[in-house]
Chain A
Amino acid sequence: MTFAAVDRQADFVLRTIEERDIRFVRLWFTDVLGFLKSVAVAPAELEAAFTEGIGFDGSAIEGFARVTESDMLVKPDPSTFQVLPWSNEGPGVARMFSDILMPDGSPSYADPRWVLRRTMARAAELGFTFYIHPEIEFYLFEGLPSETAVPVPVDHAGYFDQSPVGPGHDFRRQAILMLESMGISVEFSHHEAGPGQQEIDLRYADALSTADNIMTFRLIVKEVALRHGVRATFMPKPLTDHPGSGMHSHLSLFEGDRNAFYEPGAEFQLSEVARCFIAGLLQHAPEITAVTNQWVNSYKRLTSGAEAPAYACWGHNNRSALVRIPMYKPGKAPSTRVEYRALDAAANPYLAYAVLLAAGLRGIEGRYELPPGADDDVWSLTSVERAALGLAPLPASLAEAVAVMERSELVAETLGEHVFDFFLRNKQAEWQDYSRQVTRWERERYLPVL
């Protein structure tokens, strides 16, 4: 006569709050564009929040309005409970990621977290769990300059440089300590190619945890930067002449404890599942690009050449391909994975991972055939050569990306009609607003001569 398992974690949270003298609990959620939102509750309200959720007026939140005229509910996910590390002194503050519910308790179609949950549930129906290991790049700039000035990087070091007194190095150390204290494991960190550019890689985790972790990561990195008197940015392409910041993501599917991408003896040790998954990513890459690269600025990075992927192709250790198969290390079956390189760190991670997963699953369900891999540097080919090889270009601008996405049933189905519609309209408006700007480049180029 047990009734369906009741979340024990909720009890753990309530006890911890008691024991650690937590006075405020922030309930975090994410709007459709990927901005972190927070509502603070007193611990006393938390018990009700776990069972029924807490009502709030969502009408002013991007993408939440118009789902219903009534208030929505935020319902914390107790498994994400963490004490925030930057309030060591005095009474503590903790946070939990939350789901957004309709007044009748059903999940809200506007909630990006549910979009990802729903897609992961579809994967689970096929027997898969989705794991991700993200490499997050960002820039550190001096001080807090005005928005119009060209930002000044904190150093002039390069890829993997170890500068003895580099502010970036100390910064990374502190950021990593703080991340670890919130239960987010860091795999790897180093100086990136651009001046002041950093990379921190998170340990692989299931897609929902990874998306939660990325949201936390972005906040912590900015918080630590503030403490150092510098500014951290995840803007995809902040400097014209230096590389942009991406968020290469290593994706893998597991069936239980087994890596479904691994097949000993196959080419690159890639199983049929992996090959179909990659084919799905490539086939649907153009239509999901608006989600994985959602800002006008994202396309400045994608079209900049160098290591940015602009064509839907795959390769083994090919750093210009959209999908790269990392070198297989013998004896590391569980680490077989594919790296999707278009994504940038300013995406909404919930939506981006949902569309990536959906594209890959579509490939598996439709038994897509994987086209031959590309060994060449795609950027060095002529456009005719690329056409001959059947390399489809990714959209070159937000406008193109949105136009392709608008016709995509895959994206509509994955995001749900509400988010799909909001996203399209918001991005169309962004592009229109951008198009009417007269830029410095135009004035510098035309004013003297025209």
Chain B
Amino acid sequence: MLTPGGLARLGFADPGRALADVSAVAETGAATGSPVSAQVLAGILAQAADPDAALRTLARLQAARPSALHEPLRRVAAGDTDWLARIVAVAGMSTTLAEHLIHSSSLELLDSPLASVDSFTAELVHRRLVDPVAGARDLTAAHRVLVRCYRDCLVQLLARDLCAQWPMSAVSVELSHLADGVLAAGLMAIRQARPELADARLAVIALGKAGGLELNYVSDVDVVFVAGDEDTAAAGALAAALVRFISEPGAGGVLWSVDTALRPEGRAGPLVRSLASHLGYYQRWAQTWEFQALLKARPAAGDLALGESYVRALSPLVWSAAAREGFVTDVQAMRRRVEEHLAEQGPDRAARQLKLGRGGLRDVEFSVQLLQLVHGRGDVLVRQSATLPALEALATWGYVGTQDAAALGRAYRFLRTVEHRLQVRHLRRTAVLPDQAGERRIIARSLGMTADPDRSLNDRLADERREVRRIHEKLFYRPLLTAVARLAPGETRLTADAATERLRVLGYADPAAAWRHLQSLTSGVSRRAAIQRALLPVLLEWFATAPEPDGGLLAFRRLSDALGATPWYLRTLRDEGATAEHLAHVLAASRYATDLLMRAPESMAMLADEAALQPRSATELGGEAAEIVRRHMEPTAAVTALRALRRRELFRIAAAQVLGTPPMAPAGPALAALTDAVLAAALSGVSAALAADRGGALPTTVSIVALGRYGGGELGLGSDADVMFVHDPRPGADPAEAAAVATAVITTLRDLLHAPHTDPPLLLDADLRPDGRQGPLVRSIAATCAYYAEQASAWECQALLRARPLAGEELPAQLVAVIDRLRYPAGGVPLAAQREIRRLKARMEAERLPRGREPGRNLKLGPGGLSDVEWTVQMLQLSWAAAEPGLRVTGTLAALTAAREIGAVSAVDAQALTDAWLLASRLRDAHVHIRGRADPLTDSVPVGARELAAMGHLLGLPAGSSGDIWEQWRKVSRRAREVTERIFYHAAPMTLRRIPATPSRG
């Protein structure tokens, strides 16, 4: 007995109503002598994509034409369910065709072999679509007849598609024939209605999917028209009438749109041209993409002989197009356009898009066409018009891998099938999965997914799209490797020429060199070569996202030459998820990080995950550094080991800048912590060794004061560290001996840290010490205090704002007392000191900027650059820090924030200074990444287009926006300069001093 629950299990969404309807239909059968059990009926209906809709259609059919269902039901009663199953299938799939069945057609259609086993041939289509139109009273009547006949054909085709699992490609071919038939019927109808056009010779050429015999259920049909005579007036009128006749909706419904935009000159050009005129155009004016459109040209209707001669005449041009100058540029532009198009899709919408988007149908179609144009020039065997046959041909002749092609073909067929079902649902042109879960459920059921349909469909789509998403790797890159490696002698593969051609199209500036690198990396039968063959296709694709992929490949080769024999190296790349992708990006984008990596390849392990790229804490670093010193008694060995530690951590910091979000975040604090740890450990190691040499404790203790950007925690990549050394003699020690020992410690320390080595040196700059370069390298704390108390100049007081101890240490209290009085002067900066500081800065601007280069490009000393911001902030600190302890910090941004909070600077001005300071720091680091080392050039915004492109890539800007970097820097620095001039140079002297005097400490 049927129950609502049973019906629900069968897939009915509204079982209550279904129960009544099923019984009603079954009773009709019984009444006419064909007893059909409701159970059986429900079972047949359950096969439909939308059983409820199918059932409703049966009920409505019965109401409209009571006898229509008699025969099908009788057949079911006799044990043959096929006919009814086809009715149900069509009615449960397409709402439009269900209406068609109810109102305009006969169910006998679905009892025909054409609904089960026979295909529509061209000749059959003619009989079904063109003949009925003959003798139509007028165009309106002809249109109505044509729509009805066309839909009859669709009903039969859909039944076969659904019930006989007709292959997608076969359905596409028939749809294309049907389109031909519609065109032919249209021509005939117009000729009948307008006798003056009866003799016009016109060939209709199908392009696009119709031309490739791979049409969808509903899509625009791309055509061009060829006139048989030089006077194209009549043919033109005929063509225009045809476009209107087919594209415009009539009383009977809509067919599809005829798209004529692919004709020479597009919408601006004449609709119809003679064959000679077509040829002339393509020989002289056509662009590469227009030839791509011609790949699929096929005579579809009208004068077929004329159409044949059109195709024959043009096809040589298509393939010689690839030899034209600028072809490679064009192809790259086409590829970029597609990729940009892909990037425009938001993630949410993209997931439901079958056609566009990464991993969509368009991606497959375009990639296959591109390969055809690249390789079809030299090889006639890959010249196919439809996507699937072309893919097969490319695979057969070695241009893409056989298995990759098969997998892609499978994915493509599936996506196209889903698209077909979407379109046939309401006969609408669409390629987007609907929002409503109910609709998606129907699509899923039509594909045979009855258990948890929505989920199953989503999962399967995700799988197939994943397959397609790697299409570039598979189609473009993997065959290159097969070609290079020359393994499996039996298999056809790319020739060297074809491979170089392809590398060029993919953006490699020097394909020959790239080819050599690939050869070196993958030739031979070693395990290493085998793994690299597997890795490189995807690496090559990642390299290609950088402006110059060549650099990435070269770096990879260097790395592999150095490391190939190391067992873990390739294993890491192969097995550790993100490592390979991160490595590819770092290699292609940063020479600085690459150089570090070459010297410390084991650092590559850090690239495995985001967590490993976090800078390590001062405590961790200090602990490891101290441990190193404990292990190595000998100071050279200790410092060498410390420098290795530093190199490894520098790579971590640099890689994090490249891979992080946002890219190029300032790394000042991490670099300062690293420098602190290395310096403290090296100092203690050197001191201990010297003590051991002397056979007893040293007569003094040396300590290091961090100054400048180092003191502020604002080091850039490759910056020197500004420091000052002081020493603290033991009570009773001989001052001269203590000074000599302290100097020896520092000299040794410096020599070891600066010594040439494969690890980068840690350069110490002690020029900010008392008396500058003229003064002794190190003084005792007492002497230092005396110097500052007696003869510190204004700028020295300013420099002391940045003085701080190394992490975990403290400055001697005596020193702190002296320098605090100087750097946080009670009552603000004396006028004379303000003037001195301003003059010094003005002189630096005039003298220190490199000659012959534009000041505005200089990130450090130029207008609005780092030094403008820092000096302005320091001026505020000197003025306010005595009264406001919040300003007693060494970092520029921290001081600026404090100054803003107490109202010493407006929020707008503070923002302008912060923006400039941050951008300058990021640009400077990015420049170091590109050049591989810090030098005077890296203090500037680059001028070369290549450097700017590389910089834009590092900063995560879209390609082709290199001018924006310069523009952005000028805007930001102009604002900061304006603030600097106002606050630093021109502030009324009193505003910087108007501070309630606090009692000074001394």
Which chain A residues have a beta carbon within 8 Å of chain B's beta carbons? 1-6, 8-9, 11-12, 14-15, 48, 51-52, 66-70, 102-109, 407, 412-413, 416-418, 420-421
Does the CB pair B974–A412 fall under 8 Å? yes
When distances are taken between beta carbons in the complex, the residues of chain A under 8 Å from B222 are: 1
A363 to chain B, nearest CB (A): 22
When distances are taken between beta carbons in the complex, the residues of chain A under 8 Å from B209 are: 1
Does the CB pair A52–B962 fall under 8 Å? no
Cβ 8 A contact of A11, one of B285, B329, B366, B854: B285
Cβ 8 A contact of A52, one of B329, B949, B967: B329
When distances are taken between beta carbons in the complex, the residues of chain B under 8 Å from A12 are: 268
Supposing A14-B285, A106-B960, A421-B856 touch, asked if A416 and B967 sit within 8 A by C-beta, the answer is yes
Instruction: Name B265's closest neighbour in chain A (CB-CB).
Output: A8
Does the CB pair B967–A418 fall under 8 Å? yes
When distances are taken between beta carbons in the complex, the residues of chain A under 8 Å from B854 are: 66
Instruction: Name B854's closest neighbour in chain A (CB-CB).
Output: A66
Does the CB pair B971–A68 fall under 8 Å? no
When distances are taken between beta carbons in the complex, the residues of chain B under 8 Å from A48 are: 326
When distances are taken between beta carbons in the complex, the residues of chain A under 8 Å from B509 are: none
Instruction: Name B362's closest neighbour in chain A (CB-CB).
Output: A1
Say whether B515 faces chain A, with CB atoms less than 8 Å apart.
no
Does the CB pair B945–A417 fall under 8 Å? no
Chain B interface mostly helix, strand, loop or mixed? helix
Instruction: Name B211's closest neighbour in chain A (CB-CB).
Output: A1
When distances are taken between beta carbons in the complex, the residues of chain A under 8 Å from B949 are: 104
Instruction: Name A15's closest neighbour in chain B (CB-CB).
Output: B285
Supposing A69-B944, A104-B962 touch, asked if A109 and B287 sit within 8 A by C-beta, the answer is no
When distances are taken between beta carbons in the complex, the residues of chain B under 8 Å from A105 are: 960
Does the CB pair B293–A1 fall under 8 Å? yes
CA–CA, A1 and B961, complex, Å: 27
Cβ 8 A contact of A417, one of B261, B365, B948, B967: B967
Say whether B198 faces chain A, with CB atoms less than 8 Å apart.
no
Does the CB pair A1–B208 fall under 8 Å? yes
Does the CB pair B974–A68 fall under 8 Å? no
A265 to chain B, nearest CB (A): 41
B206 to chain A, nearest CB (A): 13
Instruction: Name A6's closest neighbour in chain B (CB-CB).
Output: B287
CA–CA, A414 and B223, complex, Å: 45
Say whether B966 faces chain A, with CB atoms less than 8 Å apart.
yes
When distances are taken between beta carbons in the complex, the residues of chain A under 8 Å from B963 are: 67, 102, 106-109
Does the CB pair A418–B960 fall under 8 Å? no
Cβ 8 A contact of B967, one of A1, A9, A70, A109: A109
When distances are taken between beta carbons in the complex, the residues of chain A under 8 Å from B293 are: 1-2
When distances are taken between beta carbons in the complex, the residues of chain A under 8 Å from B261 are: 2
Does the CB pair B974–A421 fall under 8 Å? yes
Supposing A11-B265, A418-B970, A421-B974 touch, asked if A102 and B945 sit within 8 A by C-beta, the answer is yes
Cβ 8 A contact of B962, one of A102, A413, A420, A421: A102
A423 to chain B, nearest CB (A): 13
B951 to chain A, nearest CB (A): 12
When distances are taken between beta carbons in the complex, the residues of chain B under 8 Å from A67 are: 963, 966
When distances are taken between beta carbons in the complex, the residues of chain A under 8 Å from B971 are: 412-413, 417
Instruction: Name A69's closest neighbour in chain B (CB-CB).
Output: B943
Does the CB pair A103–B945 fall under 8 Å? yes
Does the CB pair A3–B945 fall under 8 Å? no
| Best-surrounded residue of B208, B854, B856, B970 (most CB of chain A within 10 A) | B970
Supposing A2-B261, A6-B289, A105-B960 touch, asked if A70 and B945 sit within 8 A by C-beta, the answer is yes
| Best-surrounded residue of A1, A14, A48, A105 (most CB of chain B within 10 A) | A1
CA–CA, A9 and B266, complex, Å: 11
CA–CA, A9 and B285, complex, Å: 12
CA–CA, A5 and B974, complex, Å: 40
Supposing A1-B293, A418-B970 touch, asked if A68 and B944 sit within 8 A by C-beta, the answer is yes
Instruction: Name B264's closest neighbour in chain A (CB-CB).
Output: A11
- List which B240-279 residues lie within 8 A (CB) of chain A: 261-262, 265-269
Q: A8-B267, A52-B329 are in contact. List 6 more A-B contacts (CB 8 A).
A: A5-B266, A68-B945, A69-B944, A102-B945, A104-B949, A417-B966
Instruction: Name B975's closest neighbour in chain A (CB-CB).
Output: A409
CA–CA, A420 and B966, complex, Å: 13
A315 to chain B, nearest CB (A): 36
When distances are taken between beta carbons in the complex, the residues of chain B under 8 Å from A416 are: 967
Does the CB pair B974–A417 fall under 8 Å? yes
Does the CB pair B268–A8 fall under 8 Å? yes
Say whether B937 faces chain A, with CB atoms less than 8 Å apart.
no
Cβ 8 A contact of B266, one of A6, A15, A66, A107: A6
Contact with A along B286-300 (1 / 0, CB 8 A): 010110110000000
CA–CA, A413 and B262, complex, Å: 41
Say whether B337 faces chain A, with CB atoms less than 8 Å apart.
yes
A185 to chain B, nearest CB (A): 22
Does the CB pair B289–A421 fall under 8 Å? no
Does the CB pair B944–A1 fall under 8 Å? no
CA–CA, A14 and B280, complex, Å: 14
Does the CB pair A51–B326 fall under 8 Å? yes
Does the CB pair B334–A68 fall under 8 Å? no
CA–CA, A77 and B365, complex, Å: 32
Q: Give 28 A-B contacts (CB < 8 Å), ordered by A residue.
A: A1-B208, A1-B209, A1-B365, A3-B292, A3-B337, A5-B266, A6-B287, A8-B268, A8-B269, A9-B268, A11-B265, A12-B268, A14-B285, A51-B326, A52-B329, A68-B948, A70-B944, A103-B945, A106-B960, A106-B963, A108-B963, A109-B963, A109-B966, A412-B971, A413-B971, A417-B974, A418-B967, A418-B970
Instruction: Name B964's closest neighbour in chain A (CB-CB).
Output: A106
A440 to chain B, nearest CB (A): 38
CA–CA, A68 and B329, complex, Å: 23
Instruction: Name A105's closest neighbour in chain B (CB-CB).
Output: B960
CA–CA, A178 and B287, complex, Å: 35
CA–CA, A108 and B963, complex, Å: 7
Supposing A67-B963, A104-B962 touch, asked if A3 and B334 sit within 8 A by C-beta, the answer is yes
Instruction: Name A101's closest neighbour in chain B (CB-CB).
Output: B963
A102 to chain B, nearest CB (A): 5
Q: Which 5 A-B pairs have the closest CB atoms?
A: A417-B970, A69-B943, A103-B945, A3-B289, A8-B268
When distances are taken between beta carbons in the complex, the residues of chain A under 8 Å from B289 are: 3, 6
B952 to chain A, nearest CB (A): 9
A80 to chain B, nearest CB (A): 17
CA–CA, A12 and B268, complex, Å: 10
When distances are taken between beta carbons in the complex, the residues of chain B under 8 Å from A103 are: 945
CA–CA, A68 and B965, complex, Å: 12
- List which B194-219 residues lie within 8 A (CB) of chain A: 208-209
CA–CA, A202 and B39, complex, Å: 83
When distances are taken between beta carbons in the complex, the residues of chain A under 8 Å from B961 are: 106
B973 to chain A, nearest CB (A): 9
A186 to chain B, nearest CB (A): 28
- List which B618-641 residues lie within 8 A (CB) of chain A: none
A52 to chain B, nearest CB (A): 7
CA–CA, A48 and B324, complex, Å: 12
A336 to chain B, nearest CB (A): 33
CA–CA, A355 and B839, complex, Å: 38
CA–CA, A258 and B209, complex, Å: 40
CA–CA, A6 and B287, complex, Å: 9
CA–CA, A66 and B963, complex, Å: 12
CA–CA, A418 and B222, complex, Å: 47
A410 to chain B, nearest CB (A): 13
A45 to chain B, nearest CB (A): 12
CA–CA, A203 and B208, complex, Å: 44
Cβ 8 A contact of A106, one of B262, B265, B330, B962: B962
CA–CA, A204 and B944, complex, Å: 42
Instruction: Name A407's closest neighbour in chain B (CB-CB).
Output: B978
CA–CA, A11 and B286, complex, Å: 9
B366 to chain A, nearest CB (A): 8
When distances are taken between beta carbons in the complex, the residues of chain B under 8 Å from A412 are: 971, 974
A103 to chain B, nearest CB (A): 4
When distances are taken between beta carbons in the complex, the residues of chain B under 8 Å from A8 are: 265-269
When distances are taken between beta carbons in the complex, the residues of chain B under 8 Å from A102 are: 945, 962-963
Instruction: Name B207's closest neighbour in chain A (CB-CB).
Output: A1
Cβ 8 A contact of A2, one of B262, B268, B978: B262
